Amino acid sequence: MVDKDQLFNPVKMSAQAKAAQTDKTAKDILAAEAAARAAKTAKLRSARLDQAPVPDTGENGKATRRTKAK
């Protein structure tokens, strides 16, 4: 069983130790977000490559063509 002395640490952390803990936590969060972003990017890229290519059409639905400027 855990008593209150083990659960709540009465000893205060030094400013340096607190900063190190905060820094480690922030880096862990950023690493997790980067991993999630990379996984999502890979999933979307795979889905995009699996689709059939769609021809590029203009606003009116016809294929676009460049004209000479006057």
The answer to the question of residue 56 being in a domain is no
pTM over 0.85: no
60 has a pLDDT exceeding 70: no
Considering the domain boundaries, does residue 18 fall inside one?
Answer: no
According to the model, what pLDDT value does residue 61 have?
Answer: 64
Question: SS3 string of 11-44?
Answer: CCCCHHHHHHHHHHHHHHHHHHHHHHHHHHHHHH
Number of domains in the chain: 1
- Domain coverage including residue 36: 25-49
pLDDT recorded at residue 70 = 61
Quick one: which of 32, 12, 34 has its CA closest to 21? 12
pLDDT in tens, 44-55: 999 999 987 776
